[in-house]
Chains A and B, each alone.
Chain A
Amino acid sequence: MKINRFWSWLALFFGILYFALPLIGTLEFSLRMRRGEYSLDAYRVVLGDPRFQATFSYSVAMAVATIIVGVLLVVPTAYWVQLKLRRWRPIIEFITLLPLVIPPIVIVFGYIRLYNTSSFLPLTGSAWGTNLLLMFGYVVLALPYMYRAVDTGLRAIDVRTLTEAAESLGAGWLTIMTRVILPNVLVAVLSGAFLTFAIVIGEFVLAALLNRPAFGPYLQLVGANRAYEPAALAVIAFSITWVCMGLIQLVTRFQKHTFAKR
């Protein structure tokens, strides 16, 4: 009744081949800049490029802002829905899943139309306003992952009892949120945060169409004009995604550990 072990190995082998080859190919290509020998020249050129440093730090700042705003928005909402507005859950869940249905390019198209210089909220009129708009756009893109992570975390604890216990000890709303709820869902929040970071750091469409100097458009620009540097950038981007996923694994394992102790 089991699948033949030989076929299993074969399927796995081809899977590994398909996923390893592009990674090996990229790595190999990124080392080929100097003719006839392998060197790290492409990385040196990329890391030394002032535009790389500028766009990369812009995207990192954007990702951090997105995570902070996302957490401030999602955690209290998910908590409140869990505590008081259970019948609203399907509606909220539906809204948080919408960014998977509506392609990002459509959402940003709407931004450009809705928040142009002659509108009620002319966000695209200034660099500051456009940055804000881009950040909110990223919060929207991260919403499905962030909300799901936090909601799962909240379902695992007894929100009502914890809240009542804190209230009976005289805690205010701020204390309950920061000292009772947040520590309990910290692992979920962190998982959502790292995933958000991985999404925002290389995002292209929103940044390009809102004309902001982010890492994604820079990647595209380098790709269109250079030969070996894009491969080096791809290796760097892949490493960043890998680190983010590794950190998610790490915090999740950390949580299992503390649960096991109790």
Chain B
Amino acid sequence: MADTTTAATALGASGRQRMTFAWLGILPFMLFALLFLLLPTLNIVIGAFQTRTGEFTLQNIFNLFQPSILSAYWISIRISLASAFLGCLIGFLIAASVVLGGLPAWIRAPLLTFSGVASNFAGVPLAFAFLATLGRLGLVTVLLREWFGVNIYAMGFNLLSFWGLTITYLFFQIPLMILIVTPALDGLKREWREAASILGASSFQYWRMVALPILWPTLLGTLALLFANSFGAVATAYALTGSSLSIVPILLFAQIRGDVLQDPHLGYALAFGMIVVTGIANGLYIWMRTRSERWIK
């Protein structure tokens, strides 16, 4: 941040007279971003590399590599990957059916509106909805038992588990995918399909050699975004499982509430690890996005 401010001053000093005070216009925004976004985050990152007395150390980072914390990261990453991958796949299939599958055109607008609603329907209420549906007394659980004699809980299903959480997360992951991929599917020009067809390509060849390579950056990029989206989610998991399922955000939540790790600096390291993981995912997203925008004009 200090760099950008000095850069602005240097810019003003070196350049035209008009530029000298122009940067003042975004000063409130910069101050806000500094105080409530950048400094707090920086504080955590620095804290992850400090001892209690404030000296530099890598010990906190090394301390992350203990079985309980590693397994929390591992299950978090697995849930995020599974919900991101399935969200991408199912969202793509639904969007492709509606855009290219010859379904009536009036389905499109309600689908997009509903996706807008459902992608924002996360947090605590989402957990309630799934408890009322797939919980021990939930509608689907009861109906499956009474109509088909299938007791999913006796078969080992549990909402408070890897698959339970993944199914729940899909409720906001799939709509987000639909919202992002529909414009990309619209961007597939009819001429490309016709050209491929004239050259004798089959439907499968068109998808494999034309459509998918063009959509690839969008698909991979959205995968990264969905991954980060579920990796940082706390409220749904907390309302669903309490603190019984030890995923990273829950562990961090418990740590902030009341120092369960016996070491505040380990908490900073935990938070730093989250930033690294979502940072990598989003870096991929931005990189892929700039590549895909070359095609979708």
Contacts and interface: CB of A to CB of B under 8 A. Distances in A.
A100 B282 contact: yes
Contacts of A224: 239, 242
B26 A92 contact: yes
Contacts of A99: 37
Interface in A71-87: 73-74, 76-77, 80-81, 84-85
A106 B44 contact: yes
Contacts of B271: 105-106, 109
A112 B253 CA distance: 12
Contacts of B117: 238, 241-242, 245
Interface residues of B, number: 85
B43 interface: yes
Given A15-B94, A18-B170, A102-B275, A241 B120 contact: yes
A233 B128 contact: yes
Given A98-B37, A101-B278, A103-B278, 13 more contacts: A2-B203, A3-B102, A12-B107, A21-B133, A91-B4, A104-B234, A105-B234, A107-B40, A199-B120, A209-B253, A220-B235, A237-B121, A244-B120
Given A12-B107, A85-B25, A110 B253 contact: no
A21 to B, nearest CB: 6
Nearest to A101: B282
B264 to A, nearest CB: 9
A9 B103 contact: yes
Interface stretch (A58-66, A132-140, A160-168, A178-186): A132-140
Interface stretch (B27-35, B52-60, B66-74, B145-153): B27-35
A97 B228 CA distance: 13
A203 B121 CA distance: 11
A224 B231 CA distance: 23
Given A103-B274, A113-B47, A216-B123, A8 B101 contact: yes
A7 B138 contact: no
B116 A245 contact: yes
Contacts of B234: 103-105, 204-205
A21 B94 contact: no
A111 interface: yes
B43 A114 contact: yes
Given A84-B25, A109-B44, A209-B253, A101 B275 contact: yes
B209 to A, nearest CB: 13
A105 B252 contact: yes
| Chain A binding surface, main DSSP class | helix
B121 A105 contact: no
A37 to B, nearest CB: 17
Given A11-B94, A109-B271, A238-B129, A85 B22 contact: yes
A22 B133 contact: yes
Contacts of B268: 109
Contacts, number: 257
Interface of B: 4, 22-23, 25-26, 28-29, 32-33, 35-44, 47, 90, 93-94, 96-98, 100-103, 107, 113-114, 116-118, 120-121, 123-134, 137-140, 170-171, 174, 193, 196-197, 203, 206, 225, 228, 231-232, 234-235, 238-239, 242, 249, 252-253, 256-257, 267-268, 271, 274-275, 278-279, 282, 286
Interface in A27-74: 28-30, 73-74
B124 A92 contact: no
A19 interface: yes
Contacts of A190: none
Interface residues of A, number: 85
Contacts of B4: 91
A47 to B, nearest CB: 16
Interface of A: 1-5, 7-9, 11-12, 15, 18-19, 21-26, 28-30, 73-74, 76-77, 80-81, 84-85, 88, 91-92, 95, 97-114, 121, 136-137, 139-140, 143, 195, 198-199, 202-205, 208-209, 216, 219-220, 223-224, 230-231, 233-234, 237-238, 241-242, 244-246, 248-249
Nearest to B255: A109
26 contacts: A1-B193, A2-B203, A8-B102, A18-B170, A25-B140, A29-B139, A76-B25, A77-B28, A80-B22, A80-B26, A84-B22, A101-B275, A103-B231, A103-B232, A106-B252, A113-B47, A139-B36, A198-B120, A204-B239, A219-B124, A220-B239, A223-B127, A223-B128, A233-B125, A237-B124, A237-B125
A43 to B, nearest CB: 14
B171 A220 contact: no
A83 B297 CA distance: 25
